Amino acid sequence: MARTSILAGIAAATLVAGTVGAAAPAAADDRKARNGDCSRQSVYRMTLAERDDDRLHSTFFINGKRDNARWNVTFKRAGQVVHRDTKRANNRGNVFFADTFRGDDDATVRIIARAGYGERCTRAFSLDD
């Protein structure tokens, strides 16, 4: 009887370990981030995350060089505009945009940001990349 209990415990532990190992790679695909340079001296960070309800959440942070600069941003999914916004950078030149919209992990999301003084930041990727 003790031998049967030990074997059952080993089998259960192996099953749990296999399940945890299989779930870890899937979680890594649920969120990605990319950094890059804008057309002048600013830099950006774009994130893309899949939600459970067939929606995507994307953020775009710009670390700019000019305070109070006006930035216009456009979020596109599969070529269609899903969000537009205009904000002014803070006193350090930083500005942050975010939106949640319908989409799945193979949808390509493109963000285009333009500053009033002519600088441009753009990035596109999908969670499947």
List, for residues 67-96, the tens digit of each pLDDT value. 999 999 999 999 999 999 999 999 999 999
Cα–Cα distance, 101 to 97 (Å, whole number): 13
| pTM reported for the whole predicted model | 0.75
pLDDT in tens, 97-124: 999 999 988 899 999 999 999 999 999 9
Q: How many CB atoms lie within 10 A of CB 99?
A: 17
Whole-angstrom distance, CA of residue 34 vs CA of residue 74:
17
Q: Locate tokens 């074997």: which residue?
A: 7
Query: Does 18 have pLDDT greater than 80?
Result: no
| DSSP calls for the chain | -HHHHHHHHHHHHHHHHHHHHHHHHHHHTTEEEEEEE-SSS-EEEEEEEE-TTSEEEEEEEEE-SSTT-EEEEEEEETTEEEEEEEEE--TTSEEEEEEEEE--TT--EEEEEEETTS-EEEEEE-TT-
Confidence (pLDDT) at 29:
56
